[in-house]
Amino acid sequence: MKKIWIYVGVILIITIILPTILVKTSKFISLENKIKIKDIKKEEKEVKKEEFDGYIKVYDTRTQEVVKLSLEDYVKGVVAAEMPGEFHIEALKAQAVASRTYALHKMNKFNEGHPDHPQAPLCTGVHCQAFLSIKELEEAHSKKWVNKYWPKIEEAVEDTAGEVIYYGKEIAEPLYHSTSGGMTEDVRDVFSNDSPYLKSVSSPYEEGAPKFKDISTFKVDEFLSKLKKKYPGVNITKENLPEKVKLVERSESGRIKKVMIDGQVVSGSEIREIFNLNSTNFKIIYNPKTEMVDIETIGYGHGVGMSQWGANGMGKKGKKYKDILKHYYTGVEIKKYKKE
């Protein structure tokens, strides 16, 4: 009989008491509750995400303060700083859309602040996009210049208000530069990353650009000194210069990708930086009789995206700003910005 009661007790423990303890002590969550918790977390995350209210934060590199500007007022200051006010109205409109798109792209990418200026996603320097207030424009040009060109800049921005460049569903990063020299550059050959809309395209009508072609002249000793300062191990003299500096590779647009300096392969961008050249589309000419080195350059800037002087030329030829943008940015659409 005693054995029977022991047996009954064990059964009770297994079937009733133990499950009760497990239910009370476990952290078991039903599938339904899991879904509810996920929804709550999702809602909390959405609440924390700051919605775009038409204003952006910009780090002023001159005062080292963060200012809050309406996007459209910011774009006006960028267009005035980045493109000559004398340019065709369609070119200014193209610049307005490109600058607005660039700002929104950076704002989305660096919502918590740019690594180089954590206080804000954008700055007023050329590191992002140059920006000048009306007061700064008067100081840089004159009050007469502002009275003449500011209304035109306002017109360009206001006529394109809210318009942004999209590639598919994504806001594009529309890089731009002053003068391409007849052909823009594929982004892969400059910044080592690929983008389907930043491809090399023709850029006609740039001949009037002041830096379409340029020549930088150096005494051979100065030229060699600059090279040796950057590359201390090279053995280059006046006598062996033509054999020691050789072209290795050009891009499809004609820009120099690689140069060999006494057996050492370096990038065209490094040579541009050493000699402060207008672009990487250059040619080095040494005259041993005069002991002078001429570096001829074509174009001004990195060459990726929209050529501003090309846009001005297209505007003069009757092209509208959307035509200009779609020419320089392959496969894009221009649409009103939608809050994400």
The verdict on residue 260 lying in a domain is yes
Counting the structural domains of the chain, the total is: 2
Whether 173 and 132 map to the same domain: the answer is yes
pLDDT in tens, the chain (340 residues): 544 455 545 454 445 544 444 444 433 333 334 334 344 344 444 434 456 788 999 999 899 999 999 999 999 999 999 999 999 999 999 999 999 999 999 999 888 888 888 889 999 988 899 999 999 999 999 999 999 999 999 999 999 999 999 999 999 999 999 999 999 999 999 987 899 999 999 999 998 899 999 999 999 999 999 999 999 989 999 999 999 999 999 999 999 999 999 999 999 999 999 999 999 999 999 999 999 999 999 999 999 999 999 999 999 999 999 999 999 999 999 999 976 5
Residue type, 87: F
The whole-angstrom separation of Cα 157 and Cα 319 is 17
In this prediction, residue 50 carries a pLDDT of: 54
Whether 185 and 108 map to the same domain: the answer is yes
The verdict on residue 79 lying in a domain is yes
Neighbours of 1 (CB within 10 A): 5
The verdict on residue 13 lying in a domain is no
Whether 235 and 142 map to the same domain: the answer is no
Task: State the residue for tokens 């001429």.
Answer: 294
Whether 59 and 153 map to the same domain: the answer is yes
Look at residues 117, 111, 107 and name the one whose alpha carbon lies nearest to residue 65. Answer: 117
Whether 92 and 187 map to the same domain: the answer is yes
Whether 148 and 73 map to the same domain: the answer is yes
The verdict on residue 178 lying in a domain is yes
The verdict on residue 153 lying in a domain is yes
Domain range for 221 is 213-298
Whether 131 and 82 map to the same domain: the answer is yes
Whether 230 and 93 map to the same domain: the answer is no
